[in-house]
Amino acid sequence: MSVQIDNNLVRVFDTTLRDGEQSPGATLSSAEKLEIARQLARLGVDIIEAGFPAASPDDLAAVQRIAREVGTADGPVICGLARAVEKDIVTCWEGVKDAAKPRIHTFLGMSDIHLKHISNISRKEALEVVRKGVTLASSLSPDVEFSPMDAGRADLSFLVEACALAIECGATTLNIPDTVGYVTPSEWGEFLSNLIAETPGSGPGSGITWSVHCHNDLGLATANTLAGVLAGARQVEVTINGIGERAGNTSLEEVVMAIHTRKQFYNLYTNINTREIMKTSRLVSNYTGMHVQPNKAIVGANAFAHEAGIHQDGMLKHSSTFEIMTPETVGLNQSRLVLGKHSGRHALKARLQELGYKIEGDALNQVFARFKDLADAKKTVTDADLEALIADEFHGPEEIYSLVDIQVTCGTMGMPTATVKMKNADGEEIIHAAVGAGPVDASYKAVDAIVKAPNTLIEYSVHSVTEGIDALGEVTVRISPDGEDKRSFGGYGAHRDIVVASVKAYLAAVNRMVAVMGLGDRKPEGEVSTVQVKS
Ligand code: KIV
Ligand code: ZN
């Protein structure tokens, strides 16, 4: 398929749901993937890599759902990943074919290291695999992307041959990955310039788009991606918050804001609505349970905070003294005082609408009740508080088990004890009491005794949404199912009481694990001292 290429447009290919989801702890349910895909469409990404359909029937179903519900005519291209083998390619097509603009992304490791240790084939045999794979993909899909995996450590002339062959067989996007995050910006820029210049059939007017895909093992993913753009790439493969294998992928927000903020330098643009960046970042962080480090560029909690006296003084005089972009550009609302305890439902609804949340009916009643509860305890409720409440109320997994009530006793004397009342999927209420090392541990033990899905807590963190002793607490956790499985699941919870926030976060992770793995009736390992009261 020949496409018209606007040479100043850098297409954004988001792989949060594929490469990002492959990162430890980022496993998402199908419903969560769909909601993230919807937000990616609102953000304005050009292509969503929705998953790896041949990986499992669940992955296939999730890609199909995204293709049907998000891949509309005015929506993004919906892409699936496939190894360059028949089974993967055919399954991938099954996944994406219902999208208005489907794409098959097929790949093969092309460095000598990958050829020898992964495929155990010669360079000549590899070219044959590329020929067959891309030809098959092009016979099914009008839009085909080919990636020579581990290109950062591959031989340039061999890559030229492979890319030319992929074009001949119907690929229209050539994505060049630095799979192991090995290259440096200047060498990568030169390598890509040479590859683009030497590959026949890929010049101006050919309809071919060159793309870059970088990993962050040396912390160079954004720099390498931008070097690729300067060398001629007009597609960037990125993830929200830079999540991905090992040290992660290139982060979408960094590349997009570099192109946006340094317009005069790059003379390029993207289709991203930058004001949706923060919301997308929070959604992905809440669903994956992967907390964004405070000093992370663009989306970190401190990215727009000015602490040093000299900086604050400069900011008061003029924001341009220490700010190269405004917080509003990335969707961070600086309004501090939002609502108080006398604010009514209408004011709340209007403020939520201004923040981009259209909430009505029962959902609004639910948020209003939470808001009132918070406003009673806290003088002012800020935008950040409201966003945390929304994330806690609506951005969770399917609620198989839900928290009804919790009570803890703790202190320097005695044994920390938690009594937890929960509802299971049948609406049955179950109460358990457990003793633990502290109130959170005791509560988690009580939850475990009810859910019976043994797991290990591998990460737990608490943050306050705003300053002050009355601030809302946000908790993120990551758990790993006991046994053979290498996956882990994240959860998020927000509440004034950090023990309650902790239980909500834990329950979100447990529900996610139960939904994805179908657990829930296994006996917990070890003894927990519990009392069960059925009501
Ligand atoms: O890092 C990589 O090489 C990949 C490919 C499948 C594009 O993710
Ligand atoms: Zn990758």
Terminal CA-to-CA distance of the chain, rounded, Å? Answer: 63
Least confident of 252-266, 311-325, 383-397, 517-531: 517-531
pLDDT of residue 291 exceeding 90, the answer is no
pLDDT of residue 378 exceeding 60, the answer is yes
Ligand 1 atom closest to the Cα of residue 149 is: 3
What interhelical angle do 30-43 and 57-69 show, nearest 10? 40
pLDDT of residue 273 exceeding 60, the answer is yes
Is the C-beta atom of 179 inside 6 A of ligand 1?
A: yes
Q: What pLDDT digit, counting tens, does each position of 401-411 carry? A: 999 999 999 98
Q: How far, in whole angstroms, is CA 455 from its chain's centroid?
A: 23
Is the C-beta atom of 213 inside 6 A of ligand 1?
A: yes
CA of 22 to the centre of ligand 2 (A): 9
Q: What integer pLDDT is reported at residue 4 of this predicted model?
A: 57
pLDDT of residue 335 exceeding 60, the answer is no
Ligand 1 atom closest to the Cα of residue 175 is: 7
Is the C-beta atom of 107 inside 6 A of ligand 1?
A: yes
149 alpha carbon, closest ligand: 1
Q: What pLDDT digit, counting tens, does each position of 106-149 carry? A: 999 999 999 999 999 999 999 999 999 999 999 999 999 999 99
Band of pLDDT at residue 519, cut at 50, 70 and 90: low
Ligand 1 atom closest to the Cα of residue 81 is: 6
Is the C-beta atom of 149 inside 6 A of ligand 1?
A: yes
CA of 179 to the centre of ligand 1 (A): 6
Main-chain dihedrals φ then ψ at residue 434, nearest 5 degrees:
-145, 155
Q: Which of 103, 149, 225 to mutate to test the pocket of ligand 1 (most atoms within 8 A of CB)?
A: 149
Q: What pLDDT digit, counting tens, does each position of 425-478 carry? A: 888 999 999 999 999 999 999 999 999 999 999 889 888 776 677 778 889 888
Q: Which two tokens stand for residue 273?
A: 């609505």
Q: What pLDDT digit, counting tens, does each position of 220-231 carry? A: 999 999 999 999
Main-chain dihedrals φ then ψ at residue 305, nearest 5 degrees:
-95, 140
Band of pLDDT at residue 3, cut at 50, 70 and 90: low
Q: Which two tokens stand for residue 326?
A: 């405004």
For domain 11-288, which architecture applies?
A: Alpha-Beta Barrel (3.20)
Tell me the average pLDDT of the chain.
89
The whole-angstrom separation of Cα 413 and Cα 289 is: 33
Ligand 1 atom closest to the Cα of residue 150 is: 3
Is the C-beta atom of 288 inside 6 A of ligand 1?
A: no
Q: Which of 147, 235, 246 to mutate to test the pocket of ligand 1 (most atoms within 8 A of CB)?
A: 147
Q: What integer pLDDT is reported at residue 192 of this predicted model?
A: 98
pLDDT of residue 533 exceeding 60, the answer is no
The whole-angstrom separation of Cα 234 and Cα 236 is: 7
Residue minimizing CA distance to atom 5 of ligand 1: 149
Residue minimizing CA distance to atom 8 of ligand 1: 19
Least confident of 78-87, 193-202, 332-341, 473-482: 332-341
Q: Taking Cα atoms as reference points, which of 250, 256, 176 lies closest to residue 215?
A: 250
| pTM (2 d.p.) | 0.81
Q: Are strands 77-83 and 531-534 parallel, antiparallel or unpaired?
A: unpaired
CATH topology of 11-288 equal to that of 402-517?
A: no
Is the C-beta atom of 106 inside 6 A of ligand 1?
A: no
CA of 177 to the centre of ligand 1 (A): 6
pLDDT of residue 185 exceeding 80, the answer is yes
CA of 245 to the centre of ligand 2 (A): 7
Q: Between residues 487 and 126, which one has the greater pLDDT?
A: 126
Q: How far, in whole angstroms, is CA 160 from its chain's centroid?
A: 33
Q: What integer pLDDT is reported at residue 311 of this predicted model?
A: 61
Q: What integer pLDDT is reported at residue 325 of this predicted model?
A: 92
pLDDT of residue 530 exceeding 70, the answer is no
pLDDT of residue 34 exceeding 50, the answer is yes
Q: Taking Cα atoms as reference points, which of 102, 108, 106, 55 lies closest to residue 82?
A: 106
The whole-angstrom separation of Cα 349 and Cα 331 is: 19
Band of pLDDT at residue 496, cut at 50, 70 and 90: confident
Band of pLDDT at residue 513, cut at 50, 70 and 90: confident
Q: What integer pLDDT is reported at residue 441 of this predicted model?
A: 95
Is the C-beta atom of 147 inside 6 A of ligand 1?
A: yes
Ligand 1 atom closest to the Cα of residue 109 is: 3
Least confident of 144-158, 343-357, 376-390, 509-523: 509-523
CA of 13 to the centre of ligand 2 (A): 12
Q: Taking Cα atoms as reference points, which of 217, 277, 227, 231 lies closest to residue 252?
A: 277
CA of 230 to the centre of ligand 2 (A): 20
Q: Taking Cα atoms as reference points, which of 88, 114, 132, 255 lies closest to residue 178?
A: 114
Q: Are 278 and 330 in contact (CB under 8 A)?
A: yes
% the chain with pLDDT above 90: 62
CA of 21 to the centre of ligand 1 (A): 13
Helices (H), 51-184: 57-69, 86-96, 112-114, 123-140, 156-168
% the chain with pLDDT above 70: 91
User: Can you tell me whether residue 148 is helix, strand or coil?
Assistant: strand
As assigned by CATH, the class of the 402-517 domain is: alpha beta
Least confident of 72-86, 162-176, 255-269, 491-505: 491-505
Q: Domain extents for the chain?
A: 11-288, 305-393, 402-517
